[in-house]
Structure 1
Amino acid sequence: MARLLYSATMSLDGFIAGPDGDMSWLSAFSGPDPAVDALVDEIGALLVGNRTYRGDDPNRGTDNEGAFGGAWCGPQFVLTHHIPETPVPGTTFLDDLDTAIAAAKQAAGGKYVNVLGADVAAQCLTAGHLDEILVYIAPVLLGAGTRLFLHDGGTNISLERLSTNESLAATSIWYRVPR
């Protein structure tokens, strides 16, 4: 059964995007990373928030455009309240979280559904659907922007660390979300 994995690169001060969704800071931390390369092969579908889907790709217009620096391709499911009238090949737009998760899991087969976007990840976590979190911590301080998670309510959610990895570009920590 497919599992939901939220993966993101985060600044040391907790931001996955700079002010106004700026993602250009990521370019300094991209490059060969065996852990990322291995992850890409384990992803069967993407579940993407609308802001992330329409957002700032630091590789836009290059061969590296898209998820994981262009290394991943496959079905995308975009959670949005604004479904476009014109279809986009390889992309399904849905306005219901549970429906989007079910469709993405079916498309992923036994592989991961990789969640992209802080808001969608928070919705998945709140609804009890998020299975794992993989955070790449980049050695940079952004000072403002989009947080990795905004968790309303102030309740603690304990995570189980699965692994850590260090590369030249970032340190990664992989967690399981206990149920």
Structure 2
Amino acid sequence: MARLLYSAAMSLDGFIAGPDQDMSWLTDYAAEPNPTADRLLSRVGAVLAGNATFGGGDPNEDTEAEGAFGGRYDGPMFVLTHRPPSEPVPGVTFVGDLRTAVAEAATAAGEDYVNVLGADVARQCIEAGLLDEVLVMVVPVLLGGGTRLFDRPGGPPVALERLAGEDAHWYRVTY
């Protein structure tokens, strides 16, 4: 059965995107070897992204490395949105309901991960009790503003348990 994993590269001060969804800050770091990302990529069976993430900036835009995991991911992608494009996008399924999007992505992923991309979709998954794990790859930069890894002002804390054997910031969500 597929597990839902929220993975993100995050600045040391807690941002996954700069102001206005700017991802250019990641360009210098995306080219560096990342064994954790490589290990994860081999275990991703489907991607579930929010519309802002899907249509947002890519640090590798207009290069051969454009797309998820530096353009190396080529599996099924599901985008949670109430505003799908008028024209189909090859390899992408647009879904208007969170539970339906998660179910379809999980079916596509099989025994592998559904990799959740985007802070808002991850927040929705946590609030619905659907998210299983969180992986954060900390990048040595301070952005000072932008989109936070997790932002739910006034919400209750979400307990995480470090996964055994992981040297990265990889946690199980404990509801």
Match of 1:128 in 2: 129
Calculate percent identity across the aligned residue pairs.
62
Match of 2:23 in 1: 23
31-40 or 115-124: bigger deviation: 31-40
Deviations 1:97-134 (A, max 9, x none): 00000000000010000000000000000000000000
Cα displacement (A) at 1:164: 4.6
1:168-179 alignment runs, 5 A limit: 172-179=168-175
Separation of aligned partners in 2, 1:125 and 1:6? 10
Separation of aligned partners in 2, 1:151 and 1:105? 25
- Secondary structure at the aligned position of 1:4 is classed as strand
- Secondary structure at the aligned position of 1:46 is classed as strand
State TM-score, norm by structure 2: 0.95
Match of 1:79 in 2: 80
Separation of aligned partners in 2, 1:23 and 1:79? 20
Deviations 1:8-67 (A, max 9, x none): 011111000001111011112122222211110100000000000000011111110000
Separation of aligned partners in 1, 2:26 and 2:41? 18
Cα displacement (A) at 1:73: 1.1
RMSD: 1.1
Deviations 1:136-164 (A, max 9, x none): 11111000000001124331111101155
Separation of aligned partners in 2, 1:152 and 1:97? 21
Separation of aligned partners in 2, 1:21 and 1:101? 24
Match of 1:4 in 2: 4
What amino acid sits opposite 2:62 in the alignment? G
State TM-score, norm by structure 1: 0.93
- Secondary structure at the aligned position of 1:69 is classed as coil
Separation of aligned partners in 2, 1:151 and 1:19? 18
1:26-45 alignment runs, 5 A limit: 26-30=26-30, 31-45=32-46
Match of 1:168 in 2: none
Cα displacement (A) at 1:7: 0.2
What amino acid sits opposite 1:178 in the alignment? T
- Secondary structure at the aligned position of 1:67 is classed as coil
1:1-179 alignment runs, 5 A limit: 1-30=1-30, 31-162=32-163, 164-165=166-167, 172-179=168-175
Separation of aligned partners in 1, 2:25 and 2:47? 22
Separation of aligned partners in 1, 2:155 and 2:95? 29
What amino acid sits opposite 1:73 in the alignment? D
Instruction: Note the residue ranges of structure 1 that are not aligned, 5 or more in a row.
Output: 166-171
